[in-house]
Amino acid sequence: MADTYTHKNLAELCGVSETTIKSYRRKFPGFIPVLTRGKPIRFKSEAAAVCLRIRDCFEKGMSVNETDKVLKENFKGQSAESPRRAAAAPTESSTVSPEYLEKFFKTAGQMMQGMASLATAQVKAGQRLAQVETTLEKLVEIETRNSEVFSQLLTHLKAPSASISPTPSQAEAEFPAPEKIRARKIVNVRSPEGDVKSYSIEKNKTEVEVESKYERPSDAFLNTPIVIRNEQSEFLGVPGRLPLSGFIEILVREAEEGGVTMSHWKHKEDVWVFFMEIPGGDSHELHFASTTTPKGNLVVLLNRLDVNQKQTTPQFLQEFFRQVKDKI
């Protein structure tokens, strides 16, 4: 084994990326001893055992706090870096940085608030449109009736007995009330998101038919406990058997002060996908599928996370799940 290591050496030894090794240093300052701070930074030989232990803990689904306890029990002799030197260390982004998650949750809240405001505006617009269409319908009926009565009156005046004014009963017999015409009109309204609503209107009745391209999982699916699978194919859940609906609520709760452009569910074969689009252009797709554990328990598996239509690594997905779990 080499006497010293660089970020690249440690990454190759542990089978992870250099960015992941850098995230280990930030999360567990003092446990990875630095030998020199030139370029590249070199670490003492003890750093190899520490990084391997951190990788093993994360692969088992342990949190940062749990891993920190393991390191304190097994590497008590490591000296922590001084605050000044630690502050001077590089600050490259980890696989999932706290700042990224904070932005993620903030924009998620903005999305939910925007969707709620849009739904309210659409309901009010529909009500106003219904009133306008009802008024137009009445005007069409009145004009149609007047035209028919006027036409019949001209025909009657041309008859030989036109000079004799008929009595009210005769007039009613000769000029029966025209049959009321039921006006029907179809109006299509397109929302800013591209949804199309079709309004079908008849006299004294307004039918609103909304064609939505989005679906929603069943309550049974939403109330099923959520899990993730590590690299050893072990199922890792959340204490208290957190359901899928609770997992989504955590995302919304953490982003109540933010704003979003859009979020919705979509069904793809046997998988439900939760879409979230960020104002800056980033999009996130969380894939959930129903499955059973070796013990026969029914669970919902978070098996994939796409960012901007690109699938992330299993390590990225595990770190994302762990940090969301820490928000409970």
Query: Could you report the per-residue pLDDT of 38-66, keeping only the tens digit for each?
Result: 888 999 989 999 999 999 999 999 999 99
Are the C-beta atoms of 223 and 271 separated by less than 8 Å?
no
- Which two tokens mark 17? 């990326």
Are the C-beta atoms of 8 and 51 separated by less than 8 Å?
no
Residues making up the chain, counted from first to last: 328
Dihedral through CA 34, CA 38, CA 41, CA 42, nearest 10? Answer: -60
The Cα–Cα gap between 102 and 93 comes to 14
The percent of residues above 70 in pLDDT, for the chain, comes to: 71
The Cα–Cα gap between 10 and 314 comes to 20
- Which two tokens mark 185? 């009109």
> What counts of helices (H) and strands (E) characterise the chain?
10, 13
Are the C-beta atoms of 4 and 47 separated by less than 8 Å?
no
Give the pairing type, strands 271-277 and 283-292: antiparallel
Number of neighbouring beta carbons within 10 Å of residue 177: 9
Report the SS3 class of residue 113.
helix
Confidence of residue 209 (pLDDT cuts 50, 70, 90): very low
Chain segment 129-139, per-residue pLDDT in tens: 888 888 888 88
> pTM above the 0.85 mark?
no
Are the C-beta atoms of 260 and 111 separated by less than 8 Å?
yes
Q: What angle do CA 253, 256, 260 make, to 5 degrees?
A: 115
Are the C-beta atoms of 22 and 92 separated by less than 8 Å?
yes
> Is 90 exceeded by the pLDDT of residue 83?
no
The Cα–Cα gap between 298 and 301 comes to 10
- Of residues 239 and 278, the one with the higher pLDDT is 239
> Is 90 exceeded by the pLDDT of residue 97?
no
- Of residues 190 and 313, the one with the higher pLDDT is 313
